Structure 1
Amino acid sequence: MSSSVVAKPQMWGLLGRRLQINIVGAFVVSLGVAALCKFGVAEPRKKAYADFYRNYDSMKDFEEMRKAGIFQSVK
């Protein structure tokens, strides 16, 4: 039976290499999440607000609320 010598694992700098890989991975994931939040949540919300206020008439809304009796100090 022949015995083969198993090479020793390199332990010098192992933590530094793993940290570099993990930091790069975390950076990529955080950029992806930031882009998803911006283009999936913030931009549609800004567009919805812009669409709502494009044709919004505050006086008409006020008159409807006044007629419904929401305001007690305005007749």
Structure 2
Amino acid sequence: MRRSEFLRAVEDEFGGRANSITHDLVLSALGSTALEALEAGVPPRDIWLAVCDETDVPAGRRYGVGRLEPRRR
């Protein structure tokens, strides 16, 4: 998962609360916010899973999110 995919996944899952989730929510598994973890070099996939755990995102919505649909030719 890339940083852009992580940010897209948070936006898709949390909508208007995405900014608060990434800036304000301290992830207990990481001991920091999502943005602090990104800046510290934590892999975006690990941060996404920590956000999912912290906010009780169902397992069915955790994997493969954030990716754009392939362009059609």
TM-score range (shorter-chain normalised) is under 0.3
Structure 1 or 2, whichever has the larger Rg, is 1
TM-score by length of 1: 0.20
RCO higher in 1 or 2 (8 Å CA, sep ≥ 6)? 2
TM-score by length of 2: 0.20
